[in-house]
Amino acid sequence: MEDLSLGYIYMVGVASPESPEKYPQLKDDSVYFDKVLGGGDRTWSAVNVADKQICWALMIQVGFRNDAKD
């Protein structure tokens, strides 16, 4: 069996319905996608979806592909 390194941890979720007064993009029929590239190994993203909800994701790079054992 091959030994492979774990390259990324990806965590996703959906927030409860939010107030359009607090988050005006929820009033619009368009989808807004925001991504924040961290200075290191982390990236955050969020996108508004139906029913005034916001989907979010956190990606953490924990290794590199070439770290896999031969």
Strands 53-61 and 33-37 come out as unpaired
Domain boundaries, the chain: 8-67
The residue whose two tokens read 């989808």 is 31
pLDDT in tens, 9-68: 999 999 988 888 998 888 888 888 889 887 788 999 999 988 889 999 999 988 765 554
Query: What b/e string do you get for 41-61 counting C-beta neighbours within 10 Å, with b at 16 or more?
Result: eebeebebeeeeebeeeebee
pTM of the predicted model as reported, rounded to 2 decimal places:
0.68
